[in-house]
Amino acid sequence: MDARQKEKYLREYSAMKAAGKPFFPYAVGKDGLMACIVMIVIILMSLFLGAELGPKADPTTTSYVPRPEWYFFFLFEVLRVIKPPDLVFVATLGIPNIALGLLVLLPFYDRGPERRPERRPVAMIAMLLTIVAMTYLTLLGAFAGSPITIDEEVPAKYQYGKEVAANSGCLGCHKFGENGNDGPGPNLSEIGARLPKQAIERTLDNPTPPMPSFKSMPPEQKKALVEFLGQLR
Ligand code: HEC
């Protein structure tokens, strides 16, 4: 802002200030009244409508899909996209706090006098990009596949084996079609074409770390699992 602009601004400001009402008590009174009304509405709603409770927590479930509230989907998706364990702190602390810091410091680095959106291209583009990125990540997070389902269609006789695979934690390290994680284990979408069933079973019993051993899996489950994996090609 140059000296002329500043002088003009101060002139207009003092004229408006002389014509207007003081902040206290007018604005404070108005805000206070509105705050009381909102408060009373919330109290009445909680008295007469009550709060919604979800189903009771079941500590024995193996099919629970952990998900944050919808307004955290974008952070959840950032964490899902940034896979390497060494970089988790970047996703959980780094990105959100850098963004927050930039927002808090905005009045200090954006010293421009302009208030009209069309004269602030940098700020407007940054805002639009942020909104688009957050919307996109929120949608991706909302439609993220469950960590315990495999969507691929299989003939009915392999259905049980597919459920065993989905519920045994394989998806944490392997990808099956569109489901699961791309690593640390190899993609298993076509494992049947690469390994014969005996070799698959041997891998389950004596895997190379970090893959855990599934030696103690009940035999009928393991058989179904191996049959399912063997036909993936
Ligand atoms: C903690 C991560 C992890 C889990 C959980 C896991 N695996 Fe693995 N798996 C791996 C890794 C890593 C390899 C690669 C090991 C190697 O290269 O020797 C692997 C290799 C394999 C292979 C051999 C693939 C190939 O191309 O040679 C098969 C088959 C396999 N896993 C099946 C499964 C099944 C089925 C489950 C679930 C019952 C499972 N894994 C669970 C990490 C995991």
Euclidean distance between CA atoms 15 and 11, whole angstroms: 6
Euclidean distance between CA atoms 43 and 35, whole angstroms: 12
Mutate which of 160, 170, 174 to test ligand 1's pocket (most atoms within 8 Å of Cβ)? 174
| pLDDT tens-place string over residues 210-224 | 899 999 899 999 999
Does 158 sit in the ligand 1 pocket, CB within 6 Å? no
CA distances from 176 to 135, 173, 182, 209, 222 (A): 27, 10, 9, 20, 17
CATH numbers and ranges of domains, the chain:
70-142 (no CATH), 156-230 (1.10.760.10)
| pLDDT tens-place string over residues 122-181 | 999 999 999 999 999 999 888 876 777 788 888 888 999 998 998 888 888 888 887 887
| pLDDT tens-place string over residues 91-135 | 889 988 999 999 999 989 988 888 899 999 999 999 999 999 999
| pLDDT tens-place string over residues 19-73 | 888 888 999 999 999 999 999 999 999 999 988 787 888 877 666 677 888 999 9
Residue 92, both tokens: 């959980």
Residue nearest to ligand 1 atom 17, measured at CA: 208
Tell me the average pLDDT of the chain. 88
Mutate which of 175, 203, 232 to test ligand 1's pocket (most atoms within 8 Å of Cβ)? 203
Tell whether pTM > 0.75: no
